[in-house]
């Protein structure tokens, strides 16, 4: 593969101004590293649903917020007038999985040995390690292999943990969360603009479709199948050596999901690096976050309509990880935002052409296996080319930018008063200048891609 840097100059000249405009628009609605950092720390604590879920949890379970909400990316979903799931992982702290040759094992814990799935490197089977563990488990979760005299933990455990719809006792929690978000709006845009956003919120569930909870068992040691992630040479220092060694120490998890290929898929558990992935997203700069956000946006508004869920959010996140790792930092600046999006789309097209998108941690695990048939492949490719060719138009036609422009119209009437504050209150000088500059970029965007009469 050519050095990624070779690909950039051809895009740059045509998209710099539009990149800046879109980046500033995202800034204006609070989709940048600074604000996302704020939502990451303030929102999970204030999501009352979280404490309800935590409230019913028993000793020995740790609950963590994952998915878009955990990554802090709900801002974008909510601003584009769509809905999102809230995802949690429940970590069974008394359970552990280990590879066969591990020696130091916590005596108090329920233990399983990992056996790799023969057909997919991203999956393992869990062999029950001792009688104590076997006695603890409900027999419906255990399968006995008489030939080898081995007991396995089936992934039927997924049944007790899957989708939980929002119940009435969670409603008041949702209301409280809405207040938090409206408060966030004030921080981002000032009171004038929050009412614009609020119209697009679904008042009943506040943009939340459903709550997904997945259980998981820790693998205290980093699995050898993902050893390459620790050791591989990185040309641009992302992620950093410190990041890697810190997360190597924390290990990973297995979750009750079967691969699609083998004949004993009910025994499979998927290796999950979800908390490392979350930490990687937290490590993104603003342009990287915005690039990821725009790709997710394209998925929701274009890919899903054309090809359903074939190109999943997880595939897009994986592509972004690979591209950030393999591209120079000079790509990740606001005036190259659209270039970065297109580099990612080019990478996606390459993957679909080759039928291969390696998992970011386990290279041998191909995320595109069994995702589409040979007859679907040309349709998937056509959708990718369509998005690649028309990226800017597709992005600016969506509700997100309508909202941003409406926000501008709203602001324009208050710019005069902002100017007054600018003159009378030197403390707010910098804030006002930034606001006015952002709005100027929105005006540039409107010039290129008129969306509404302003
Ligand atoms: Zn399998």
| Residue 180, pLDDT score | 41
CA of 104 to the centre of ligand 1 (A): 28
- Render the burial of 167-191: b for 16+ CB within 10 Å, e for the rest: eeebeebbeebbebbbebbeebbee
| Residue 422, pLDDT score | 38
Distances (CA, A) of 185 to 33, 105, 147, 182, 294: 15, 48, 62, 5, 20
Bridge partners, 256 (sequence order)? none
Bridge partners, 128 (sequence order)? 112
> In this predicted structure, which of 144-158, 223-237, 323-337 has the lowest mean pLDDT?
144-158
Angle made by CA atoms 139, 119, 273, in degrees to the nearest 5: 75
Q: Sorting pLDDT into bands at 50, 70 and 90, what band is 20?
A: confident
Instruction: Tell me if 252 sits within 8 A of 221, measured CB to CB.
Output: no
Mean per-residue pLDDT over the chain, rounded: 75
Separation of alpha carbons 87 and 65, rounded Å? 6
Q: Sorting pLDDT into bands at 50, 70 and 90, what band is 159?
A: very low
CA of 123 to the centre of ligand 1 (A): 6
Exposed/middle/buried for residue 413 (C-beta within 10 Å: 0-12, 13-18, 19+): exposed
- Ion ligand 1 residue ranges (Cβ < 5 Å): 117, 123, 259, 262, 268
Q: Sorting pLDDT into bands at 50, 70 and 90, what band is 36?
A: confident
**Residue 438 pLDDT > 90, yes or no?**
no
Instruction: Tell me if 90 sits within 8 A of 161, measured CB to CB.
Output: yes
CA of 410 to the centre of ligand 1 (A): 54
CA of 266 to the centre of ligand 1 (A): 8
Terminal-to-terminal C-alpha distance of the chain: 46
**How many Cβ atoms are within 10 Å of 378's Cβ, its own excluded?**
11
**Residue 179 pLDDT > 60, yes or no?**
no
Q: Bigger pLDDT: 131 or 318?
A: 318
């Amino acid at each position: 593969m050519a050095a990624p840097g070779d690909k950039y100059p051809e895009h740059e000249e045509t998209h710099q101004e539009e990149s800046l405009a879109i980046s500033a628009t995202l800034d204006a609605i609070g989709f940048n590293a600074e604000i996302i950092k704020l939502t990451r720390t303030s929102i999970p604590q204030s999501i009352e649903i979280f404490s309800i879920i935590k409230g019913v949890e028993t000793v020995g379970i740790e609950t963590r917020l994952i998915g878009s909400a955990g990554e802090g990316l709900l801002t974008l979903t909510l601003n584009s007038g769509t809905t999102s799931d809230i995802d949690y992982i429940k970590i069974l702290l008394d359970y552990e999985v280990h590879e066969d040759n591990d020696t130091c094992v916590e005596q108090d814990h329920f233990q399983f040995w990992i056996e790799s799935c023969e057909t997919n490197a991203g999956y393992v089977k869990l062999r029950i390690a001792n009688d104590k563990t076997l006695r603890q488990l409900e027999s419906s979760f255990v399968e006995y292999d008489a030939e080898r005299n081995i007991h396995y933990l089936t992934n039927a455990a997924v049944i007790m943990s899957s989708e939980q719809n929002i119940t009435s006792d969670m409603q008041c929690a949702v209301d409280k969360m809405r207040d938090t978000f409206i408060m966030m709006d004030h921080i981002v845009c000032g009171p004038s603009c929050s009412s614009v956003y609020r119209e697009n919120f679904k008042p009943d569930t506040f943009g939340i479709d459903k709550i997904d909870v997945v259980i998981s068992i820790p693998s205290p040691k980093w699995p050898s199948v993902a050893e390459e992630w620790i050791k591989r040479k990185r040309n641009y220092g992302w992620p950093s050596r410190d990041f890697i060694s810190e997360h190597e120490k924390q290990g990973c998890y297995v979750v009750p999901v079967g691969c699609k290929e083998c004949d004993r898929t009910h025994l499979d558990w998927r290796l999950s690096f979800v908390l490392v992935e979350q930490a990687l997203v937290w490590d993104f700069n603003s342009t990287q976050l915005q690039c990821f956000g725009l790709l997710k946006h394209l998925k929701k508004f274009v890919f899903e309509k054309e090809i359903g869920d074939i190109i999943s959010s997880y595939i897009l996140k994986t592509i972004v990880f690979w591209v950030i790792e393999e591209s120079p930092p000079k790509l990740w600046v606001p005036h190259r935002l659209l270039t970065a999006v297109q580099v990612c789309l080019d990478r996606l097209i390459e993957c679909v052409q080759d039928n291969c998108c390696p998992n970011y941690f386990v290279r041998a695990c191909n995320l595109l296996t069994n995702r589409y048939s040979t007859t679907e492949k040309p349709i998937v490719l056509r959708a990718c080319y369509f998005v690649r060719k028309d990226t800017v138009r597709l992005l600016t036609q969506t509700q997100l930018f309508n909202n941003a422009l409406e926000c501008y119209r709203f602001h324009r009437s208050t710019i005069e008063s902002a100017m007054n504050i600018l003159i009378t209150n030197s403390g707010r000088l910098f804030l006002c200048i930034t606001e006015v500059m952002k709005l100027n970029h929105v005006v540039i965007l409107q010039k290129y891609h008129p969306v509404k009469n302003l």
